[in-house]
């Protein structure tokens, strides 16, 4: 149902008191369908991973040696099934943003970053510096974690060296809090800085990298539901390596 909006004499629009427009309802309905579909597809994906293991186990018990080519094909099937798992996990996260968000609450951004860093795993080769983050935001804690984990995972997953560093800083801007997450990786060329936020887009083939191409899409959706924007920006020092993602969140 669409609600009428009234206008002041100076032509400024008064915000709609009920934001659940037909468009918002349609988006939420699509997200519900997306969640249900990905949930069912995960069952098929699991079968693609597990059944080859059963075949290999059954052949071994029957004292039958699989030809090398057949074993390679089974391994390839499992590889693609794991890739499908990652993609479905990303789509599930995307469907939950906003629709299943917890009530907004005041959250220490530094504590949330620490929690996200601990959750993403595979960080032993990287250092994290969140000392320049002293801010409190007003956001659903689960969606905030989806955003921060996506940003931090993006920094380490696409790094081109064995070791690296990730830094974050935040500062107030009116009633918003600006957050930047930077790394010292290869960076993203200007021509691709918008594309990387599109669903399922990766700069390298998915079957080579194992990435779903949904991390930054989830990040963009979270920031959008909180009334902000997100973008890849130039490094503070021209010519420096690395990628810097900037977004704005509601300040507490």
Half-sphere exposure of 209 (CA within 13 A, CB side): 17
Mean pLDDT, range 177-205, rounded to an integer: 83
Tokens of 120: 């993403």
Q: Of 154, 159, 161, 167, give the one whose Cα is nearest residue 201.
A: 154
The rounded distance, in Å, linking the Cα atoms of 138 and 136 is: 7
pLDDT bracket for residue 93 (50, 70, 90): confident
Answer with the residue of higher pLDDT: 26 or 118. 118
The per-residue pLDDT for range 96-141, each reduced to its tens digit, is: 899 889 999 999 999 999 999 999 988 889 999 999 999 999 999 9
Segment of 45-54, 151-160, 167-176 carrying the highest mean pLDDT: 167-176
Contact (CB, 8 A) for 231 and 193: yes
Range with the poorest average pLDDT among 31-45, 91-105, 132-146, 180-194 = 31-45
pTM above 0.85, yes or no: no
Answer with the residue of higher pLDDT: 36 or 233. 233
pLDDT at 78: 85
Answer with the residue of higher pLDDT: 28 or 7. 28
Q: In angstroms, how far is the first alpha carbon of the chain from the final one?
A: 31
Segments making up each domain of the chain, as ranges: 22-96, 105-250
- Alpha carbon of 103 to those of 24, 106, 137: distances in Å? 18, 10, 13
Mean of pLDDT over the chain? 83
The per-residue pLDDT for range 55-84, each reduced to its tens digit, is: 888 888 888 888 888 888 888 888 888 888
Q: Of 217, 227, 248, give the one whose Cα is nearest residue 93.
A: 217
Q: Does domain 105-250 have CATH number 3.30.565.10?
A: yes
């Amino acid at each position: 149902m669409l609600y009428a909006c009234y206008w002041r004499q100076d032509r400024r629009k008064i915000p709609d008191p009920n934001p659940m427009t037909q468009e918002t309802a349609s988006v939420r309905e699509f997200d519900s369908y997306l969640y249900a579909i990905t949930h069912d597809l995960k069952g098929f994906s699991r079968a693609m991973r597990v059944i080859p293991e059963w075949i290999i186990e059954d052949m071994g018990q029957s004292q039958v040696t699989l030809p090398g080519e057949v074993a390679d094909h089974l391994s390839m099937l499992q590889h693609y099934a794991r890739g499908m798992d990652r993609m479905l996990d990303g789509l599930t996260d995307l469907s939950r943003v906003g629709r299943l968000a917890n009530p907004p609450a005041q959250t220490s951004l530094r504590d949330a970053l620490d929690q996200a860093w601990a959750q993403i795993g595979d960080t032993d080769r990287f250092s994290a510096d969140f000392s320049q983050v002293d801010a409190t935001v007003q956001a659903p804690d689960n969606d905030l974690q989806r955003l921060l984990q996506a940003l931090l995972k993006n920094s380490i997953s696409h790094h081109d060296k064995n070791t690296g560093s990730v830094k974050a800083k935040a500062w107030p801007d009116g009633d918003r809090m600006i957050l930047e997450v930077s790394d010292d990786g290869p960076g993203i060329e200007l021509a691709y800085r918008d594309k990387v936020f599109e669903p399922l887009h990766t700069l390298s083939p998915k079957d080579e990298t194992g990435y779903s191409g949904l991390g930054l899409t989830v990040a963009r959706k979270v920031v959008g539901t909180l009334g902000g924007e997100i973008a890849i920006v130039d490094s503070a020092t021209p010519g420096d390596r690395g990628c810097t993602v900037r977004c704005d969140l509601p300040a507490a």
